[in-house]
Structure 1
């Protein structure tokens, strides 16, 4: 009788484990390849380590807006309205970004050009936009890196074409009307590739220190109590002795994983931490589609993955 009860418990546990696994969310990586000319690429993973390209690594959405028609640095989030909202870099030298939405990541709305830096005289670029949602205020914040000629001259350098970025933002509740553009983060150095997540009521910004003289080119962290800041002084680097950019993060249980592009080495890297202070390099444990470049990770359901696999 005891053996029967034991095996019954084991069987029930295994059944619930399988049921739990089937309902478990899947990780989706939205990224671009080459110069972003062919558009949006997607890959999925069930463990956040091994990633498989979808649709034979062909494009899910070809870019149509701006003079250059690029789709670099795609950022997708699931909105409170149930839609997927995406922004991206449309050009190396433009004053706006791209925007589109979708119910299923397959069929997308008409692409829009958002002229977020059009009123800022001297703007040279609008790079790597991202979206963060604050459930408390029900506001979306879109933010990106721009260089404005003549601003922040104390950190200017003649190298790398003289780019000297800061992070700017707009807010919206419906992706139809937008606030005026404002400065989000001025850390006292050339900064790009910000990505912000909310955790336990705090906003955590992962960012790239783009300083060229002397070389930094690493990932750091800043914190804020409100989505629009003010954000704290940047932390010490959390990445190693290599050039890193384009951080994107996910949290598994109590562990944080940050993916980033080791762009000079032409490969991706990843680090793991339970406290956002002590980091372990796990780059040798990850596997990604060849040629994957700067993107973002989000969660999708098994049902959504099934539809994507059918493409």
Structure 2
């Protein structure tokens, strides 16, 4: 009896001492009510924090694909898709506590491209090595790349800018041309000079998720893998949980979320039955969050 009691006490103590949780950004169709958030204490089971944290006002006034990253000063930065077509940039705002947000801004990163069709799914990555943020996104510029089976207005490549302060930005440049239409990329850093790019092959026969590798955050990313998800999957995001990497993704045909677990980004175990995701959760990103900030977030909405 004493041993059982001690085990319970130790488990409670261990849980209370755990200082990190995870935050998952998302949106809900039709993408007009803004930012939704969920949190997890174990990286597998997610609790809905609701929506309406930041109602979209920039560009086409949609908020799709909200991507979040935290700077070294603790500030949270958020970027998102503002329109299906027509907008030549994406939305941006920042916050210290995830409750009170700055004024929103539209960042016209592709305004120099007269024929650009869209700017989709901007993804933030904080590059610690160079003390800067890297922002990547997918755009189509008709007749710029071989299209295979793709329509000219649906033949995406990945582009990027860098910034240290979200006031000045590098000129938009090509980030990834894998020889096929590609969207929904996210960067994961394993260690210094060791990066993994999780990407969606958006060609009609594929529409699944793969990985590529580089020794530089800006690429080139090479050795693209075979797909490790099924047909009609997109919107991957990556979380480091213990010694494992978890890759979450939207199974948009089935309107469910799936996930795989990996240690090396070469072999993947499907863990979709081990996770729980809030209903109607859509494409977002996962970051670590300390318990103090999470407590304030839950109390302050």
TM-score (norm 2): 0.93
After TM superposition, which residue ranges in structure 1, 4 or more long, deviate above 6 angstroms? none
Pairwise mapping of residues 252-271 of structure 1 onto structure 2 (< 5 A)?
252-271=241-260
Q: Report the equivalent of 1:46.
A: 41
Matching residue of 2:222: 232
Give the structure 1 partner of residue 134 of structure 2.
141
Equivalent position of 1:203 in the other structure? 195
How many residues in Structure 1 have an aligned counterpart in Structure 2? 296
1:186-235 C-alpha deviation (Å, 9 max, x unpaired)? 001100000001111211110000001xx101100011111111111321
Q: Structure 1 CA distance, aligned partners of 2:89 and 2:76?
A: 20
Greater Rg over alpha carbons, structure = 1
Unaligned runs of 5+ in 2: none
The answer to whether structure 1 residue 301 and structure 2 residue 294 are counterparts is: no
Q: State the alpha-carbon separation in 2 of the partners of residues 247 and 83 from structure 1.
A: 24
**Which residue of the partner structure matches residue 55 of structure 2?**
62
Alpha-carbon shift at residue 156 of structure 1 (Å): 5.2
Aligned to 2:267: 278
| 1:112-191 matches, cutoff 5 A | 112-155=105-148, 157-158=150-151, 162-191=153-182
Tell me by how many angstroms 1:23 deviates.
Answer: 3.7
Does the residue aligned with 2:117 lie in a helix, a strand or coil?
coil
Q: 3-state DSSP class of the match of 2:293?
A: helix
1:79 to 71, 84, 106: 71
Alpha-carbon RMSD across the aligned residues, in angstroms, is 1.9
TM-score (norm 1): 0.90
How many angstroms does 1:153 deviate by? 2.6
For 2:11 and 2:44, the matched residues in 1 are separated by 24
